[in-house]
Structure formats: structure tokens, C-alpha cells
Amino acid sequence: ATNSWAQDEALRACLQKPFKRLCAYYLYTEKRRGYALNSVAHFHLKNGAVMWRLNYEADMTPRGLSNSCGMMVNYRYFLPDAENNSRHYQETMKIAADSSIVRLADAAADVMNNTRQQ
């Protein structure tokens, strides 16, 4: 209900790993009609970008905390690959992402699957 957690340095440190996993899962895995659920992600991926890096505590403003718990993602455009990335995303609905993003999303999925099985 509040962003008071962001004022506690120890709590922020404890939340870094789960927040990054959940953010990666949301951006990389969650879909709407087969495409990235997040509209900003969809925009960049449709234009040929690669989901590149998650940044924890990147936007600690009240708005940044409310919108994304202070998390931000970088999209990287490799110009020689952009056209192919765009076509691949639009045809197969698969997201081009750095392996670090994929590992974080997979780790979140594993935790969620283990929790559901218990």
C-alpha cells in the first residue's frame, strides 16, 4: 500500500533478488495474445530490440516505486540484427533477451512451480 519499504536499506537488499526475478518473469514470460504483456516491451521488441539488462533501484522516485518498484529494463538495438529480431518476434512471438534475463525469468518460474506443487 506504500513505498515505505524503499526507505529501509536492509530490506531493499533482501528484495533485490526476488524483485529482479519477478520483473524478468513479467517482462519475458507474461504475454497478451502471444506478445509481451508490457506495452513498452512490446514496442521495443517489435522494433527489433533485445531485452538486455534489468536495473534494480534505477528509479527510486515515488512514481518509479509505484509503477515498477524502482526497476527499469534496458533494451539494446544491435542494428545489423534489428530487422531479423523484429520479424522473428512478430512471426514467432519469441522475445530476444540476454541470457541473464532468461535465467532470472526461469528462476522465478521454478520458484512459482515449486510453490504450486507444495
Task: Give pLDDT tens digits for 61-116.
Answer: 999 999 999 999 999 999 999 999 999 999 999 999 999 999 999 999 998 888 77
Q: How many CB atoms are located within 10 Å of the residue 49 CB?
A: 23
Q: Average pLDDT over the chain, rounded to whole?
A: 95
Q: Which pLDDT band, with edges at 50, 70 and 90, does 117 fall under?
A: confident
Q: Residue 115: what pLDDT?
A: 77
Tell me what percent of the residues of the chain surpass a pLDDT of 90: 92
Q: Which pLDDT band, with edges at 50, 70 and 90, does 25 fall under?
A: very high
The two beta strands, 31-32 and 50-55, are unpaired
* Close Cβ partners of 51 (under 8 Å, ≥ 6 residues apart): 27, 28, 41, 44, 45, 73, 75, 95, 96, 97, 98, 101
Altogether, the residues listed in the chain come to a count of 118
Q: Residue 24: what pLDDT?
A: 97
Q: Residue 89: what pLDDT?
A: 98
Q: Residue 1: what pLDDT?
A: 80
